[in-house]
Each structure stands twice: as C-alpha cells, then as structure tokens.
Structure 1
Amino acid sequence: MPEFLQEIVASPLFGLLLFDLAIVWPLWRILRRAGLSPWWALLALIPFGLVPVIGVLAHSRWPVLPERRKPVVKARRSV
C-alpha cells in the first residue's frame, strides 16, 4: 500500500469520517422511508445534532403509516 494511503487510514479523521458515514447513511434511509425530509440526517454530523433528529423521529406523525382507527365501544345490555 502506498505511504500516503497508510497515513490517511492511520489518521483519526479517517475514523471520524467512517463513523459519520455509518450514522448518516442509515439515518437518511430511515427518514426517507418514514416520509420525512432526509436532510435532517445531516444534523448528525455536528456535536449533539443527533438529539433533535431523534426528537423529530419520535414526536412527528409519520405520513407513511396509516391512521389508527378508534376502537368501537359497544353498548352493554342490561339484564
């Protein structure tokens, strides 16, 4: 392996780049499948940026999911 590639792989920034890709790419896909804007995934690149992304996922309505039907309450017959 060439020397410059060894330096790149050995640098901490390379590990950080791999970690960021390992977080952003799946998060991008999850947000897109949930029907939300996948651009929220880029917030994961900044420190503590993943916190609002998780909040958006947890507390927003997912347009892809169907609405839940309210349970039908049947009247009881008195004896």
Structure 2
Amino acid sequence: MDVLQDLVNSPLYGLLLFNLAIVWPLWRILRRAGLSPWWALLALVPFGQVPVIGVLAHSRWPVLPVREKRAAKTRRSL
C-alpha cells in the first residue's frame, strides 16, 4: 500500500494525468479538422505541443470549404 501512496503523491503522476488529459481533446480537434489525429501523441513529449499547435494554425483544414477570393477594389483617384 505504501508504494501506491508514493505513486499517487509523485509529481510525475500528476504530469502523466495532465498529459493524458491534453491528448484526448487534441486528438478530437485534429480529427474534426480533417488532419491526422496521431499528431496528438506528440503532446506527450515535453514541448511537443508547440509543433502540434503550429500544424493546426498554419495548415489548411480539409473539412472547411474553400473560400472564394475577393475581387480587388478599384481605387478612385481625385
């Protein structure tokens, strides 16, 4: 029983729970965005969330419709 108590009181236990709590929502977000959800496992590595956030922020999301480009407005000169 003493070993179990030491495990629960260990800061590594809290870190593991925190990382697992991050991976599940990140997996779902990536899947809904149309990207590979396996990127979420990179969040288990220290500072691994940084490239995951970069991929989310800078890649095209295949699920979203393609936006039409606006026509350039003509400038009036005085």
| Pairwise TM-score range, normalised by the shorter structure | 0.7 to 0.9
Letter in 1 for 2:65: P
Q: Percent identical across equivalent pairs?
A: 78
TM-score calculated relative to the size of structure 2: 0.80
Q: Which one has the largest radius of gyration? A: 1
Deviations 1:4-35 (A, max 9, x none): 43222111121011110111111111000000
User: How has the CA–CA distance of structure 1 residues 48 and 73 changed in structure 2, closer, same or farther, with 3 Å as cutoff?
Assistant: closer
Equivalent residue, structure 2, for 1:19: 18
Q: How far apart are 1:57 and its partner, in Å?
A: 0.3
Distance 1:20 1:51 in 2: 14
Unaligned runs of 5+ in 2: none
TM-score (norm 1): 0.79
Structure 1 unmatched runs, 5+: none
Query: What residue identity is the alignment partner of 1:26?
Result: P
Aligned length: 74
Query: In structure 1, what is the Cα distance between the partners aligned to 2:47 and 2:6?
Result: 29
